[in-house]
Structure formats: C-alpha cells, structure tokens
Amino acid sequence: MENTYNAQVSATPEPAIIEVYRISRWVGALCACKVYLDDTEIGRISNGDKQKYEIPSGLHEIRIKMNWSFLKSRPFSFKIKDGDFIRLRFDFTFGGFATFTSWWMVKAIFSGGKVIKIEQY
C-alpha cells in the first residue's frame, strides 16, 4: 500500500518592495531627504544612498522632501502587487551652475519648492 502525503501549503505572498535611490551629487550632499509614502514618513536617504522598503500592495503615492527646507518633489503615483519590485530614483532638477548663481532659488520659488524629480528606472 502506497502512503500518500497531501500537505496543504499555505501560500504566503511575497511582500511588495520598492527601492529608492538618491543620485549622488554635490548639490544638497550634506542634507538627508525624507521619503514619504502616502503622507507617512518611511525613511531618510543620504546622498548616493539606496534604501528598500516593504510596502502593502495597492495604489500609492511617494514624495521626497529635503529635511531642512521647503524643497520637495511632486507626488509620484504607482501601483504595486505582492511580489513586485519597483526601483525609483530621485534627483534635483538643477545643477552646479544654478547653485552657484542662486538661480535654483528662483526656480524653487516659482515652482512652490518642487525641484526634486522622481522617476522609475
């Protein structure tokens, strides 16, 4: 007589993970940036750093804000399922020339401080 073993495997879904990467630049290099998921701070990222976060599946909005100032990003919306892995990166929309000439301040004032861009890669 053959013994059969019927085990029920409880399928636990793999978590949804986002990886947030801050491009390494000398603009704002000494300041950490706060990462907000659906208006809740989930972490801080230093210059050139990369962080992974487990998040629930569904439709989400991520924002980045420089910790000491009014500089921030526009919201970036994305949908994620259990087991998905999404890579996001962010950077400032201005460079060295704008920093030295203070042009970034003009850009920040007229954009409501939204001078950080987020993109999926």
Q: What share of the chain has pLDDT > 70, as a percent?
A: 81
Q: What share of the chain has pLDDT > 90, as a percent?
A: 58
pLDDT at 3 over 70: no
Strand pairing partners for 19?
A: 52, 87
Residue 31 binned pLDDT confidence (cut-offs 50, 70, 90): confident
pLDDT at 68 over 90: no
Residue 45's pLDDT is 96
Q: pTM for this one?
A: 0.80
Exposed/middle/buried for 49, CB within 10 Å: 0-12, 13-18, 19+? middle
Average of per-residue pLDDT across 108-112: 76
Window from 27-31, 36-40, 92-96 with minimum mean pLDDT: 92-96
Q: What average pLDDT does the structure give for the chain? A: 86
Residue 5's pLDDT is 52
CA torsion angle 67 69 71 72 (round to 10): 40
Look at the alpha carbons of 12, 35, 24, 115 in this order and tell me if their dihedral is positive or negative. Answer: positive
Residue 6's pLDDT is 53
Strand pairing partners for 70?
A: none
